[in-house]
Amino acid sequence: MSKSILSSLDSSLYPQVWEQQTFISPQALLLLILNNEVTIDASTFTKRLLANDIYQEWINTTVFGRYLHRNFTAFYQQTEDSFNVEMPALFRQELTRHAQYMPLDQVLFFAGEMPKVVRQTKLLTTTVNPATAIINAQKMTTHQVSHSKMIVNQITIVGRQVLGFPIRHNKRTSERLRNEVLIMDFQDLRLVNEVTIEDTKKSNIESSILLRSYELR
């Protein structure tokens, strides 16, 4: 069965106007949020996503929701349960069957260090909500130490064979703010830039933000 290509979400979502400022790309928006020049919470951004026809197309063509993704992830991470040893492959096969190719130049985000197994498993959970990525990065930051670093990553799709699976979330739970896309397969993931942003908002903690940019093909 041939794979279809998801419509470009960013092309329909940007430019955006927040606090009387116009943002032509998700990268520009993310950078100003990290620099504390504009304040956007995950819920407000999610509302804009849900009002977008292309995003509705993304999630409404998704056969499975967060429940199957959560179970798939749990099975995929288990290593000692021999009874369920074939379950990750079965879940992945079914998810991949319904996955679609990501549009070129689409930008995705994720928080924290890149898991070491990603380049082997070709599996990565991302979000199209920059505020959600920042919240996740903040949760990962070690607050007990005087020096901490928050890591936010952005990925730009540059290849035509990247398989993605937009996850449809339960609108009645906090999961509705995740706005996730499960990347199911790709050829190469390459770090292309790192920028350190000083976080002056936290007066009691010396902290910084590391913004990493990747290309996915």
Q: Is 158 within the bounds of a domain?
A: yes
The residue assigned the tokens 């990962």 is 140
pLDDT tens for each residue of 148-176: 689 999 999 999 999 998 988 766 666 67
E-state strands within 43-188: 100-101, 107-111, 124-127, 147-157, 163-166, 180-185
pTM of the model: 0.85
Task: Look at the chain and report how many structural domains it folds into.
Answer: 1
Q: Is 27 within the bounds of a domain?
A: yes
Q: Is 149 within the bounds of a domain?
A: yes
pLDDT tens for each residue of 189-199: 999 999 998 76
Q: Is 82 within the bounds of a domain?
A: no
pLDDT tens for each residue of 4-48: 999 999 999 999 999 999 999 999 999 999 998 999 999 999 999
Q: Is 160 within the bounds of a domain?
A: yes
> Could you give the CA distance from residue 138 to residue 134 in angstroms, rounded to a whole number?
6
Q: Is 19 within the bounds of a domain?
A: yes
| Phi/psi-derived region of residue 112, left when phi > 0, alpha when psi is between -120 and 50, beta in every other case | left
183's CB contacts (< 8 A; 6+ apart) are 102, 108, 122, 123, 124, 125, 126, 162, 163, 164, 165, 216
- Per-residue pLDDT averaged across 121-132, rounded? 94
Domain that holds residue 112: 9-62+100-216
The residue assigned the tokens 């898991």 is 115
Q: Is 133 within the bounds of a domain?
A: yes
* Integer Rg of the chain from CA: 18
Q: Is 84 within the bounds of a domain?
A: no
